[in-house]
Structure 1
């Protein structure tokens, strides 16, 4: 199999723009890691017109896929966690080519998980957590229990990922296996929500009570990246915040995160007069610690 695919990846490896080549083989118990393909060839390049280019092949009744990914896109996936397979590919793939030890250094960086990356990733997961938690609570209060349940499951998943990051690790595909060892309290909440024989309303009510403390207790450490950026200016308009490059990772969850932090007295609202009577501009600043 490798002999058949070698000319394809070797052609790419010979190009100066190529940083590394990985081969990922399908494993019987992990079919989704390769999207059911028998082989994945991951080519990492310095730059390209497209951040991601994919080509599919068939040979001897087997399927193979070639993924050409830019370094920038790869690092964005690692930061945002929106392509869970990439960690499996980097950890379990065979290195076929590694220019100047690029792949080895990348793996070492992932393992080290520098504090600045950790802060960003914690802020991202916390914003997603708040979005799901608040949406779930609103559904619950309006007696839409199945919709509330869906959001609560997702909020627990973000809480679990956040706990793993706090412990200095990247969340993997099997995040609940990680959490069971690191934060059994969160794991127990999840199991009780899913397996309890209590009525849905009662399960959700108990979970909201328990998770509120777990969320609040993690707030200060989780928003360090966010507050550090806000601390760069005296105060910000919301439009300035959404245009700020370092805050782009929060995307559509930025507004709900901001309102949560205002409610918890961590962000202060500054009002500035407009030309219209009784109407004020709304600006935001980090509340000074007392």
Structure 2
């Protein structure tokens, strides 16, 4: 496939806005790393007009996908951790073009912590962990064990990613392989949930107890980013938090996260008068 794609990446490398060209070839049938394609051609560009542009190719036998990604979009994905496959492509792909060592420097930035976005990445993962735990526990208390199981698995995945970030690494697609080496206790927790022969209700009960321990010991580190932001002014409305350039990245998890931090005594609620004397505004401040 490399020979077939060569004219395409050679042409793209000639464009002045192209920063890097990386080829990722599949390692086996149905390889999730390449989305079942035989090859992925990743082209990073300084042109921001179209953040993502994709084309599919075939030579009659194999198939390939070309993704042209703007540098701005790529860095956003890396910051939010929302495209884990891209991390694997950057690490394991074959670099065919690297303008001014852009790709090499990007790889170095990903490997060497602390790097930009470390605190916010921890905050985003922790907020998702908290939401999954809270929703799962609600379903558990209602006796809806299968729904609880679904949310618990998601929350454990975020706990795993959080552990990887804490250890100065970047979560990859095979995050549980990383966690098995980094934090065996979390790996064991996941293993017991999915492989234990105990009744599901008993497994969930034990897991919630363990999750409370892990969450409790990570609260201040997981909340550090949002606390640093909120310390920049005395009071915040929820709308101000939603509109803040960094805090808005918490998206749908923000309000659940705020309530969790209030419950833990990290944030406090400040009431202020509204136009209606029967009701107050609810603002937020760092405790």
Query: Shift in Å at residue 210 of structure 1?
Result: 1.3
1:281 to 2:281 alignment: yes
Query: Shift in Å at residue 29 of structure 1?
Result: 6.0
Structure 1 segments unaligned to the other structure (5+ residues):
none
Cross-structure match for 1:170: 170
Query: Shift in Å at residue 30 of structure 1?
Result: 6.6
Q: In 2, Cα distance between the equivalents of 1:118 and 1:57?
A: 37
Cross-structure match for 1:124: 124
Work out the number of aligned pairs and report it: 287
- 134-143 or 174-183, which deviates more: 174-183
Cross-structure match for 2:157: 157
Equivalences for residues 95-106 of structure 1 within 5 A = 95-106=95-106
Cross-structure match for 1:219: 219
RMSD: 1.2
SS at match of 1:197: coil
Query: Shift in Å at residue 31 of structure 1?
Result: 1.1
The 4+ residue runs of structure 1 with deviation greater than 6 A are none
CA shift digits 1:215-246 (9 cap, x unpaired): 11001011111100011110100000000001
CA shift digits 1:49-106 (9 cap, x unpaired): 2211000111141111111000011111111121111111111111111101000000
- With normalisation by structure 1, the TM-score equals 0.96
Query: Shift in Å at residue 116 of structure 1?
Result: 4.3
Cross-structure match for 1:263: 263
Cross-structure match for 1:4: 4
SS at match of 2:239: helix
Cross-structure match for 1:245: 245
Cross-structure match for 1:210: 210
Q: In 1, Cα distance between the equivalents of 2:49 and 2:259?
A: 39
Q: In 1, Cα distance between the equivalents of 2:111 and 2:30?
A: 22
Query: Shift in Å at residue 114 of structure 1?
Result: 2.6
Q: In 2, Cα distance between the equivalents of 1:161 and 1:42?
A: 24
CA shift digits 1:101-132 (9 cap, x unpaired): 00000000000133542111100000100110
